[in-house]
Amino acid sequence: QVQLQQSGPGLVKPSQTLSLTCAISGDSVSSNSVAWNWIRQSPSRGLEWLGRTYYRSKWYNDYAVSVKGRITINPDTSKNQFSLQLNSVTPEDTAVYYCARDWGKFVWGTYRGDAFDLWGQGTMVTVSS
């Protein structure tokens, strides 16, 4: 059974870096068939896709415009997991963060994503001093 297990701190100070990890069991972070995503949810912003990493002969990353410049998503093949780092956080980044999988395809040099069929359990992250 494929599962995603999230870990990371629930409290981050303003201006610091939010770091979360999503461990994959039953699938591979290096799979050529899927992408690994981070999504967050807050009352003010609803469900918001943040970014993804995927392997198609080489590693690719795509990021949401709203967090570009502050976000890094990295695969860790040795541990079969992927991580989220969000820099310079503010209280606006307070949310429940989820990792998720999709079975998208690479079409004409562009990744065309699919629905998110598998989700982690979620991590509530509060940005506060």
Partner 1 sequence: EIVLTQSPGTLSLSPGERATLSCRASQSVGSTYLAWYQQKPGQAPRLLIYGVSSRATGIPDRFSGSGSGTDFTLTISRLEPEDFAVYYCQHYGSSPPGTFGQGTKVEIK
- Asked whether position 44 contacts partner 1 by CB under 8 A, the answer is no
Q: How far apart are CA 84 and CA 115, in angstroms?
A: 20
Residue 21 contacts residue 81 (beta carbons within 8 Å): yes
Read off the amino acid at residue 10: G
Of the candidate residues 82, 84, 102, 127, the single one contacting partner 1 (CB under 8 A): 102
81 to 100: interface string for partner 1, x by CB under 8 A:
-----------------x-x
Q: How far apart are CA 65 and CA 43, in angstroms?
A: 20
* 16 vs 119 by CB, closer to partner 1: 119
* 92 vs 114 by CB, closer to partner 1: 114
Tokens at 49, concatenated: 């896709």
Query: Looking at 77-122, which runs of residues are DSSP E strands?
Result: 81-86, 95-102, 105-107, 110-112, 116-119
Of the candidate residues 63, 86, 93, 125, the single one contacting partner 1 (CB under 8 A): 63
- Asked whether position 8 contacts partner 1 by CB under 8 A, the answer is no
Which positions touch partner 1 (CB under 8 A)?
Answer: 37, 46-49, 52, 62-65, 98, 100, 102, 104, 110-117, 119-122
